[in-house]
Chain A
Amino acid sequence: MNAFTYPADVDTDSAGTAGVSERPLLDVSGVTLQYKTRRHLVTATYRVDFQVFQAERYVLLGPSGCGKSSLLKAVGGFLAPVEGAIRLNGRTVTGPGPDRMMVFQEFDQLPPWKTVKQNVMFPLLASGKASRREAEEKALDCIARVNLSKFADVHPHMLSGGMKQRVAIARAMAMEPDILLMDEPFAALDALTRRKMQEELLQLWDDLRFTVLFVTHSIEEALVVGSRILVLSPHPGQVKAELNCDGYDHFAVGNPAFQDTAQRIHTMLFADEVETVKGLPS
């Protein structure tokens, strides 16, 4: 474990685009994330590299403690890397901004004092991206896309969990961000609603072709929702593998190919666990 040494060279820009002609939308290079608790300095991820291209559904997958949420927060600009850099469209991310909209796991992400429509309009107005009339038009359109038109004038406390998450997705989509950041958005939902939401998200993606960075700890969800998966190992998070998984949907779950990939990822994560357990006593 050499987690606490940082070489001086932070510039890892040249690693970027080899093999792919297009420039990556999001370029995460050599990112080490740390956060302080009262007693400890915890390293969440260690030198993580990955790139996300336009219209990809990029999934960060790993067990708890692999720093996947921290990575997403770093891309969101809420956490500054101690080493490495995060670039969006070539510009280094320095703080939170409306070009990267977050969808959180928690239901309390919607300001309760605003109706569904006002909630979707809020970021448009706060960022000065649209006039009141444009914002309203856009909000109603996005609310219709997530099938909540009937509830446009309702306050969030009247909605179910799944509906609240839909509002959060509509709110993020209305901003037309460069990249949509989703932090286990369906993890707090019941299994039936979760599946429905996954299908709806894929349908939306099919219509709009946005770019999404999606965090999950469920292998099945990663395979269904994602087009490419970054597998992370825990304590601290490091890149274990990057896999393609485009073309799997809910109907593919039983397929041998799907099961093979799921098994492969499971082995990766599981093998790692055995290693750390073996490593402990020494």
Chain B
Amino acid sequence: MTGLSLAPQGRRVPPVRPEYERTVATTGPIGDVARPLSLWERIGNITALRRFAVLAAVALLWQIAATWQNNPLMFPTFTATITALWEAIWRENLLSMAWVSLSVLLKGYAIAVVLAVVLTSFAVSTRIGNDVLSTLTSMFNPLPAIALLPIAMLWFGLGAVSLTFVLVHAVLWPLALNTHAGFTSVSETLRMAGRNYGLTGIRYVVTMLIPAAFPAILTGLKVGWAFAWRTLIAAELVFGVSSGKGGLGWFIFQNRNELYIDKVFAGLVTVILIGLVVENVVFRWIETHTVRKWGMVR
């Protein structure tokens, strides 16, 4: 009968101990339940400050490395680059050149966003749309936008249209891919809740699917932005002038030809700065006012 091979004397009985009840202490004797953080802790919590410290460290390393190299033609120092940047801004209209690049970029970006929304809405509402999107993204996503540039130049000539074409290509596929992934990962419960409200068609996509998939869409927008920026600068380097005015890539290319390496670096720094601002100001603002506020990402 004994399931266990323990001898009867080995069966321990828990001791019987007296019961008691207590009245719980109020917060008085415990002290502060919530205490403000120290100044250092609070400063450490400012993300912008921490990021700025990283930037400063990179600049410092650059300065040290360049000074040690002591070859201003090949590798100008940080301070020399900043001086060149300052001069380029005031004497050579660097800002308006940057604006030429940016405006082309924004145009291509906007067209791509609209196309991506149309394409993915089509893909979530019909099965054939899904097949179309999946096939097209797997075909075109791995194709570097810059590789299409020769064809685009042949078709649309040496102008902003060619640039816009490659930009749309650079943004559309990663954005569509991410948006579609976001749509398909919306939970079944949330979908049913939306349909329960009587939402159908485009209203369902706009009021339920897009906000529910917004973390993925935002990732797509960021990836698309980076691709577009890279593609644009590369395209300008290759064939320079767009619609009669040079952009940032052209500025870099020209100065390299004339061996103004400090200005080449100034152009690169401008590219980096614009990238940093867009990522850390624009996208971060969108993020804190949407997905972070909604608790969809940490």
Contact = CB atoms under 8 A, between A and B. Distances in A.
A104 B192 contact: yes
Describe B's contact surface by its main secondary structure.
helix
A88 to B, nearest CB: 14
B192 A102 contact: yes
A78 B195 contact: yes
B193 A113 contact: no
Given A78-B192, A157-B294, A106 B197 contact: no
B187 A106 contact: yes
Contacts of A97: 196, 198
Contacts of A111: 190, 193, 208, 211-212
B39 to A, nearest CB: 28
Nearest to A101: B196
Interface size bracket, A side: 20 to 34
A98 B197 contact: yes
B207 interface: yes
A194 interface: no
A191 interface: no
Interface residues of B, number: 21
Interface stretch (A34-42, A120-128, A195-203): A120-128
A122 B197 contact: yes
Interface string B196-217: 1111000100011001101000
B106 to A, nearest CB: 26
B294 A155 contact: yes
Contacts of B295: 112, 155-158
B296 interface: yes
Interface centre among B187, B190, B214 (most CB of A within 10 A): B190
Contacts of A101: 196
A122 B207 CA distance: 10
Interface in B201-242: 203, 207-208, 211-212, 214
Contacts of A123: 196-198
Contacts of B189: 104, 106, 108-109
Nearest to A119: B193
5 contacts: A97-B196, A108-B190, A111-B193, A123-B196, A127-B198
